[in-house]
Structures are given as C-alpha cells and as structure tokens.
Amino acid sequence: MTDSTTVERPLGWHLEGPLDYGALVTDDFRVHRSVFTDPKIFEDEMVRIFGGTWVYLLHESEIPEPFDFQTRRVGRRPVIVTRAEDGEIHVLLNRCTHRGTLLCPLETGNQKRFQCAYHGWTFSNSGDLTAITYPDGYREDFAKEAYNLGRAPRVQSYRGFVFCSFNPDVESVEAWMGPARTIFDWAVDRAGGDDHVKMVKASTMEYRGNWKLQNDNNGDMYHVPFTHRSTLTMTRQRHGAGKSLDHFKGDSSPMTVRDLGNGHKMIDQRPSIDSVWERARPIPGRETQAEQLIARIGEQRARQYLEYVGRAGINLILYPNLYVGGNASLLVYEPVAVNRTFVHSYIALLPGAPPEINALRMRFEEDFINIGNRDDNEVFERLAAALGDIPEMPWIDVSRGWRTAGETVEADESLSGRVTYETGIRASYVRWRELMTKAPAMAVGV
Amino acid sequence: MQVEPEMLLAEEDVRYVNDELYEDVFRFYRESSEWTGPGSHEPEPEAVVVREARLLDQRNYESWLDLFLPRCVYWVPGREVVGDPREEPALHFDDHRRLVDRVALIRTGFLHAQTPPSVTCRMVGSLESGRHAAGTCDVFSSVLIDAYRGGAHVQYAGRQFHRIAETQDGWAIQYRVLLLNDRAGSQGNITFIL
C-alpha cells in the first residue's frame, strides 16, 4: 500500500504520465481531494466510468413512438436516443461525422432524419448517413458507410430502463446490477411494472460541485439531523411529529445502508416507514384529493393508492448516475464539469392510477426538491469551496462503520451497515478505484 | 470633459458633513429600507404587484404573505410548453399552506441555503391590466430579479401574471403565475422566494 500521508501529486504530473489512481482511495478509506477537484481526473472519469460501465439514459416511455427521440449526455458525450421504425432503440453520438457539429439541438421530438445545419449531411434515425450534399465532390472510393453516426456499442433496456456503455466488453445489465437487481425489481413491480408508467421530467437542480457529492449524499443518512435541520424543525413546528424525515432516530432505528457491489448502494428506510402516505409532509390538495378519491372508490382501495404518493422508502443508487427512490421517482446525475453538476429529477405518471393520485404525485415531487434538497446542494457547494483550496490537507474520510460490529455480510453477499454508516459510500469509492485504474478498450460503433 | 480652472477655485460649502448630517442620512437609509407603504404611484391593483416585489426584496416575508388571499396559488411552471399542472411537476405549485411552510423554513434560522441570505433586487415593468370580472383584476408584468450570494450574481427574468381580488381590506393576490425564461433549464439555489 502506498503511504497515503505523502501522496500529493507532483507539480505537472499530468504532463509526465498517468496518475496512480489506486493511491487516491486508500485501503483505510480516505479519499484524496483531487478526486473532487482535479479537471484531469474528471476527464478520465468521463472515459473510464461514464464510458466504461453502464450509464442510465432514459425510460422507454419517454420515446414511445417510432421516430421519437430524446437528447442526453453520457458523461459529456452528447447523444441522441432514438426509437427506429422497427421499435429498436439506438444511442447515436450527436455529432455530424463531417465536421463535428452538434447535429440535433433539441431536447426531444419526432424525426425520421437528422440534417446537419452546417453542410446538410443527413442521417437516418438509426444513424445511417443517407445523403451527402453534392456527392460528386468526393473521390470514387469514398466509403460513405464509414461516415454513419457514431453509436454506443452496447445498449440494453432492462424493464423499460435504457442503459448504454462505450465499453464493448461490459457485462450484461443484470450482471452489473448484481444484488441491486432484487431491489430494482421490487421498485419497478411496486410502481405498476414495466409498461405501466409514463416517465416525465420534473426539474433540474444545479450545484457548483462534483457529481460524486450527490451520488454519495443519496446513500448517506448521517447528515440528516444537521443538513436538514431546517426541514425537520419547520415540519415539526407546522405539521407535528412523524412527518418526512422524522423517522430517522440515529442508529437506534432498524434502517440499514448497504453495499450492493459494483459501486451500487442503498439506504433501506422501509423498516421505519409504516405508511408512505401518512408520513408525507402535507402537499397542496392533500385533503381534497384524498377525500374525493375515497368518496369515489371507497376507503380501502383509496388507501392502497395513496401509498403511491411519496417515495417508497428506498434510496437505491446504481453507480454511477441513477437514483431510484421507489414509487417511480428518479434522480439522474449529469456531470457538467469537475465543479458543476446537474441533477435531473423524474416522476412517472401511473396511467393505471386514479387522476387524484397522479396530481398528488406531481405535488409530492416538488416537495423535497424545494424543502430539503437545496440544503444538500448548499453543503456540496461549501465542500467545494474548502476542499480544493488547502493543499496541506489532501484527505477526506469515509471510514465510518468500517471494521465495526455494525457491518454484516448478507445472504446475497452484499454488506449491510447501521443506517448512519458510510458503508454504501465506501462501495462507490472501491468501484471508483477499480474503474479508474484500468482503461477499458473503448469503442464507438458506426 | 475638460475641467475649467474657475470650477476648481469656486467657493463651495464644504462644512455640512457633520454629525447631524450623518445621523439624518443614516435615519433616511433605515426608514427607506424598512419602508412598508402606503404604495407606489401606480393605481391599485397594479400597485400590489410593485409592493410584492419590494416586500420580497426586503425579505419581509410575513408582510408578503399578508398580500395573498387565504385561498391562493403561487405557480412557477417548469416546462417550456406549460401543461396541466395535475400531469406535470412545476418548480413550485404552492397553496397557502405551502407558502407559509416556505416562510417558516427560512425563519427556522437553519436553512443553510439562505445562510447568508440571497440579496435580491427586482425590477417590475411593462405593467398592463384588465378587469376580469366583478371584484378581480388581472395584472401582467415583466420582472427581472438579480440575486447576489456567495460572490456570484444570478439573474432571473420572466413574465408574471397576477389575479388580484378586491377584499374588505383592499386588493389581495389570488393567483400568481411566474413564467421564468429559463424555467425548463437548470435551477441553482432558489431558496429565496422568487
């Protein structure tokens, strides 16, 4: 093991060769500050993490019809996710193969072809170059098919959730999920199954800090009484005990955090949440919509449906970029720069549910984003404001719970810890070190 | 501009910056920064819109809440093309209870995202209005908000629609819809009230 107290990169290391990424996460779970602040490391992450493993793109319900498309970023790579006439999903690099122009500037739409605004090269929605302007200008042996759009070599839809990878050798999504798959399936089943959701974009939060801060935070319950003190205080003052985060009672609660392998982690809040609906902070229309629903379909069925208002008691984070809150609510992390991140939130309309439930779900989606998340973002920005500027203090610590009696190995070989432990966060840094120390053979299909 | 020599030599009263003046100027500042009315030169109910902007800039959130009817809606859509709010989330779709929640959240003193607070300056312009029905008036305006915090300025601009209703105590806000230009884009720290 490298002596972690002396590892500070030499000046100009990036000119001399690759950094020893293995030394930046120590075996006693300290993480080097440069992992959050160094633009060169960020660049390598965009290749080795956001290219080397599976990255979540979108839900199939966002491109339901032939020729529908949505644009996304895979790391920083701009892509167009299209549904072809035959229903197949393609992940195309949003870059004209002629001179490199962004081909499609729109977020979403329905188009059979994409035509470059610069010289008119035209591509089908499955990526084939269909027309070159004035083709006579090219030599006879010019291979047009070599100029099809670049594409992610691996695309897989798992239960309606579309992932892609630029690593042709990546394992299947099922294998990559590992023990996390059971939790993921539970969440999809609970919210009505594969085809019974219509995912809609909610909003995008932005903070001035590294993408891993949000990823870590979604697997962290330790911060709740401090970061969310305003939320806890206001909620108790205004709505009494037992609402929102009030079920957190430190490590005396039966909740756990888990290291699910491959960097995936979760907080399991379900043991402390008896009723999602009863624990939801009052949202606009709570009383009127519930009463209307009860009057129409009866108390018992209405109660069942109302349990779909609010998140379902899990924070499942599939490394690197997807958070599943249960009840078909998602966060997707988009790294913009080493010190800038977008967090996109999505909520599904449940077409099988009564309209009152969907209206309440929309209002609930606005709840924690506006009441709680902004204090998280503030903390990320404070972290970014200090961590990068003190070269004499290069390390942060994520060892809470490590080698204590509170961590146990579960039957599915995942590691379970008390709810305030950094067990899940460690999972992500072990994975970070694994992915960053090997450069996969990346490929772009055409 | 060329300064003429006789200007430099002119007799000026330079003996007035005394303690009395300091006290008077500072009193003027304090009274102005805390000023709560009676209102602008705009006729009611347009003046309610101007008053709202001022109260928000003063972070006088309790008086701001008093501008609203008990059955009010404060809606900040989050889509380029705005649809039925029952089928899409907004940046905010607040009833009166949620507005009080948000003020109470700030007033806990523990809202890190407003420690220190955003300092804001709003410019409300392009005011137009039309009577809607008996006792209500719709006011349309443009607003530009500069918010300064942590060394950075952030600007928000948009159109706003107010439905102002006549009550026994004067005019009050029934609906406020704020249509930000960048509503579909990313939002940073919007924990001050937009």
**ipTM of the predicted structure?**
0.92
The verdict on a CB contact (< 8 Å) between B189 and A377 is yes
- Among chain B, residues having any CB pair with chain A shorter than 8 Å are 78, 85-95, 97-98, 100-102, 104-106, 108-113, 115, 150, 184-191
Q: Is residue B97 part of a domain?
A: yes
CATH of the domain at B137: 3.10.450.50
How many CB atoms lie under 10 A from the CB of residue A151? 21
Contact B113 A342 (CB under 8 A): no
- For residue B6, is it within any domain? no
Q: Which of A234, A237, A292 to mutate to test the interface with B (most CBs of B within 10 A)?
A: A234
Q: Specify if B134 maps to a domain.
A: yes
Task: State whether A379 and B112 contact (CB < 8 Å).
Answer: yes
**B105–A234 C-beta distance less than 8 A:** yes
Report if residue B5 sits inside a domain.
no
**In the CATH hierarchy, which fold is given to the domain comprising A55-157?**
Rieske Iron-sulfur Protein (2.102.10)
Chain B residues touching residue A234 (CB < 8 angstroms): 101, 104-105, 108
Whether residue A359 contacts residue A285, with contact meaning beta carbons closer than 8 Å, is answered with yes
The verdict on residue B185 lying in a domain is no
pLDDT for position A195? 73
Instruction: Calculate the CA A411 to chain-centre distance.
Output: 26
Cβ separation A205–B86 shorter than 8 A: no
The number of folded domains in chain B is 1
Average pLDDT over residues A73-96: 98
Question: Closest-CA residue in chain A for B100?
Answer: A238
Out of A208, A282, A377, the one facing B113 most closely (by C-beta) is: A377
CB pair distance less than 8 Å for B91 and A203? yes
Cα–Cα distances in angstroms (integers) from residue A269 to residues A184, A247, A275, A372, in the given order: 15, 9, 11, 17
Residue span(s) of chain A under CATH 2.102.10.10 come to 55-157
* CA A28 vs CA A24, A165, A215, A290: distances in Å: 11, 31, 21, 51
Q: What is the pLDDT of residue A1?
A: 35
Output B166 or A191, whichever has higher pLDDT.
B166
> Which strands, in side-by-side order, build the sheet including A55-59?
A55-59, A161-165, A154-158
Statement: residue A9 has pLDDT above 60 = no
Q: Whole-angstrom Cα distance, residue A359 to residue A338?
A: 37
Kindly tell me if the per-residue pLDDT of A12 is higher than 60. no
pLDDT in tens, A210-232: 999 999 999 999 999 999 999 99
Q: Which residues of A touch B92 (CB under 8 A)?
A: 366, 370
| DSSP secondary structure code for residue A23 in this structure | G
Contacts of B94 in chain A (CB under 8 A): 284
B145: containing domain: 40-180
* Cβ contacts of A379 on chain B, cutoff 8 Å: 112
CB contact under 8 A, B93 and A355: no
CA A91 to CA A86: how far, in whole Å?
A: 15
Query: How does strand A161-165 pair with strand A55-59?
Result: antiparallel
Residue B64's contacts (CB-CB under 8 Å, 6 or more residues apart) are: B52, B55, B56, B103, B193
Q: What is the pLDDT of residues A364-419, one digit of tens each?
A: 999 999 999 999 999 999 998 899 889 889 999 999 999 999 999 999 889 999 99
Closest CB to A363: pick one of B93, B185, B190: B93
pLDDT confidence of residue B1: 61
In the predicted model, residues of chain B with pLDDT beneath 50 are: none
Report the residue of chain A nearest B110, measured CA to CA. A230
| Residue contact B187–A205, C-beta within 8 A | yes
Cβ distance of A375 and B95 shorter than 8 Å: no
Question: Closest to A342 (Cβ–Cβ): which among B91, B95, B186?
Answer: B186
In a mutational test of the B interface, the residue from A214, A224, A228, A363 whose CB has the highest number of chain B CBs within 10 Å is A363
Right CATH for A178-434 from 3.90.1150.10, 3.40.50.620, 3.90.380.10, 3.30.720.110: 3.90.380.10
Q: Which of A283, A281, A319, A277 is nearest to A302 (CA)?
A: A277
| Residues of B whose CB is below 8 A from A205 | 186-188
Contacting residues of B for A311, CB less than 8 Å apart: none
Question: Where in the sequence of chain A do the CATH 3.90.380.10 domains occur?
Answer: 178-434
The better pLDDT of the pair A442, A179 is held by: A179
Q: Which residue of B has its CA nearest to A232?
A: B105
For A127-136, the pLDDT digits (tens) are 999 999 999 9
